[in-house]
Amino acid sequence: MKTRIKEFRARHNLTQEDLARKVGVRRETIVFLEKGKYNPSLQLAHDVAKALKTTIEELFIFGK
């Protein structure tokens, strides 16, 4: 799975640490999400999308 988290973080001038604090996870979780090495729960995907003022569909690219 690919994500656009880094792109949206940059738009909002947020660091990985800032985003992690907003959604209640560790910075490492954001790192793994950005690298596509971690598939988030639906709740986490929702929380990240909400924090970045976008939708899950805009933020996460589901593919094969």
What is the CATH classification number for the domain harbouring 11?
A: 1.10.260.40
pLDDT at 21 over 90: yes
Task: For residue 64, name the pLDDT band (cuts at 50, 70, 90).
Answer: low
* The total number of structural domains that make up the chain: 1
Exposed/middle/buried for residue 19 (C-beta within 10 Å: 0-12, 13-18, 19+)? buried
In terms of residue numbers, what domain contains 44? 2-61
pLDDT class for 62, splitting at 50, 70, 90? confident
Joined tokens for residue 5: 């988290």
pLDDT of 1: 82
- Cβ atoms of 30 and 19 closer than 8 Å: yes
Residue 45: the pLDDT is 97
Number of alpha carbons in the 13 Å side-chain half-sphere of residue 1: 19
Residue 34 near residue 5, CB atoms below 8 Å: yes
- Read off the pLDDT of each residue in 31-49 and give the average, rounded to a whole number: 95
Q: Would you place residue 63 in the very low, low, confident or very high pLDDT band (cuts 50, 70, 90)?
A: confident
